[in-house]
């Protein structure tokens, strides 16, 4: 805006005859500072009103996004609670929960008609593992978490969950912690569980052929009756308990149960045991007397193994353990 405005000169009430038809002249008169201030205030108020409207729009958009996120999470939980197996969207629902919450707790996914005696499970592969007749399909699920650090632990986790009798073949869990959970009778064929932690977990009677466990930390795990043919435990860490403190070293611990499991295909001339099970593996595992894993006879006869007499009601904490050579252990 210009600091000047058109202002007419005073017009005489009794002009002369010759000036009577003349229009009054106009001149530029400087507007006073008070008018400039008034204009600036109006301008600022207009800008403030625009910013306020923009802020309200952003808030409304954010609330809409949060509402959609809450609805997405709620729908995922509802899908996981649906009975029945097959492709019912559970894989997508579980993946959604990981994307939104980074970890899941107290999830229950199991066979639709599971009963107390496990009668719906069957074995069609010739190994010790069991399969659900119509287990929920979680295959090809992919969860990739950031590597843990000394200040930040695992940012992706499955805790206190039951995922039993499901199909999770060809899945990939990288840098994921699995804690206090039941994954028994689960098909994990050709999957990857790498760089994570598996603590107080049951894989009993699971199909774990060719599962890659490289770089994974184990503490108190049951592989009883699991098919571990071709499973890779390279660079894995196994924990032991010392006065309630968890330590990692070369000292034997007996918290990994491989009773009645299958370690090797004894009928194959290319047994993967020599390739995927290093000798230290047997420093950290045990099996119950009379329940030696299939394929143990293909291990070096002088290899020392741990044989125990019993476990607690949860299948952990073995007692009556002694070390024997493979030859002695197989004699019973």
pLDDT in tens, 82-138: 765 556 678 888 888 888 767 888 888 887 656 544 445 666 666 677 777 777 888
pLDDT confidence of residue 114: 60
Residue 299 and residue 166 share a domain = yes
**Angle of the 33-81 helix axis to the 90-101 helix axis, nearest 10:** 140
How high is the mean pLDDT of the chain? 76
Identify each DSSP E strand in 15-130 by its residue range. 26-30, 103-105, 108-109, 121-122
List the domain range (segments joined by +) for residue 49. Answer: 1-8+27-81
Residue 202 and residue 97 share a domain = yes
What percent of the chain has a predicted confidence (pLDDT) above 70?
A: 69
d(CA 244, CA 256): 17
Residue 95 and residue 62 share a domain = no
Query: The whole model's pTM is what?
Result: 0.71
At 268, the pLDDT band (50, 70, 90 cuts) reads very low
At 241, the pLDDT band (50, 70, 90 cuts) reads very low
DSSP H or E segment with residue 42? helix 33-81
Q: Quick check: is 18 in a domain?
A: no
pLDDT (tens digit per residue) in 185-208: 899 999 999 999 999 999 999 999
pLDDT confidence of residue 321: 86
Total domains in the fold of the chain: 2
pLDDT for 270 beyond 50: no
pLDDT (tens digit per residue) in 174-184: 999 999 999 99
How far is it between the farthest Cα atoms of the chain?
143
pLDDT confidence of residue 189: 93
Residue 119 and residue 137 share a domain = yes
Residue 326 and residue 177 share a domain = yes
Q: What is the mean pLDDT of residues 206-227?
A: 89
Q: Quick check: is 19 in a domain?
A: no
Looking at per-residue pLDDT, the higher value among 8 and 89 belongs to 89
Q: Quick check: is 65 in a domain?
A: yes
CB-facing half-sphere around the CA of 232: CA atoms within 13 A = 16
Residue 115 and residue 69 share a domain = no
pLDDT confidence of residue 136: 83
Residue 217 and residue 106 share a domain = yes
**DSSP string over 185-242:** T-B-TT-EEESSEEEEEE-TT-B-TT-B-TT-EEEEEE-TT-B-TT-B-TT-EEEEEE
- How far is the CA of 222 from the CAs of 72, 155, 275, in angstroms? 35, 24, 22
Residue 113 and residue 39 share a domain = no
**DSSP string over 112-152:** TT--TT-TTEE--SSSS--EETT-BB-TT-EEEPPPP-SSS
At 34, the pLDDT band (50, 70, 90 cuts) reads low
Residue 206 and residue 227 share a domain = yes
pLDDT confidence of residue 15: 58
pLDDT (tens digit per residue) in 155-164: 889 999 989 8
At 277, phi and psi to the nearest 5? -115, 105
Looking at per-residue pLDDT, the higher value among 243 and 15 belongs to 15
d(CA 297, CA 6): 110
pLDDT for 1 beyond 70: no
Instruction: Name the region of 167 (left: φ>0; alpha: ψ -120 to 50; beta: rest).
Output: beta
Looking at per-residue pLDDT, the higher value among 251 and 74 belongs to 74
């Amino acid at each position: 805006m210009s600091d000047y405005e058109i202002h007419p000169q005073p017009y005489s009430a009794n002009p002369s005859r010759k000036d009577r038809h003349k229009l009054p002249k106009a001149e530029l008169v400087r507007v006073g500072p008070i008018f400039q201030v008034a204009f600036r205030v109006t301008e600022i108020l207009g800008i403030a009103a625009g910013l306020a409207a923009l802020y309200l729009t952003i808030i409304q958009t954010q609330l809409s996004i949060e509402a959609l996120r809450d609805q997405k999470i709620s729908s995922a939980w509802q899908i996981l609670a649906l009975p029945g197996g097959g492709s019912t969207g559970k894989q997508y629902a579980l993946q959604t929960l990981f994307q939104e919450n980074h970890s899941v707790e107290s999830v229950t996914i199991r066979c639709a008609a599971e009963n107390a005696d496990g009668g719906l499970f069957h074995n069609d592969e010739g190994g010790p593992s069991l399969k659900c007749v119509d287990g929920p399909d979680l295959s090809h699920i992919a969860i990739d978490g950031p590597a843990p650090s000394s200040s930040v632990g695992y940012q992706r986790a499955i805790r206190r969950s039951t995922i039993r009798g499901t199909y999770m073949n060809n899945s990939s869990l990288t840098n994921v912690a699995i804690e206090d959970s039941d994954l028994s009778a689960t098909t994990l064929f050709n999957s990857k569980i790498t760089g994570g932690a598996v603590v107080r977990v049951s894989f009993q009677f699971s199909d774990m052929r060719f599962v890659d466990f490289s770089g994974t930390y184990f503490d108190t795990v049951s592989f009883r009756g699991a098919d571990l043919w071709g499973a890779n435990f390279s660079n894995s860490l196994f924990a032991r308990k010392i006065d309630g403190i968890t330590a990692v070293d070369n000292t034997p611990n007996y918290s990994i149960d491989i009773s009645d499991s299958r370690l090797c295909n004894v009928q194959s001339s290319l047994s993967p045991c020599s390739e995927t099970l290093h000798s230290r593996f047997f420093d950290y595992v045990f099996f119950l007397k009379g329940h030696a894993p299939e394929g143990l006879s293909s291990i070096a006869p002088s290899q020392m193994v741990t044989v125990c007499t019993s476990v607690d009601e949860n299948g952990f904490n073995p007692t009556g353990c002694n070390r024997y050579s493979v030859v002695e252990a197989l004699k019973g």
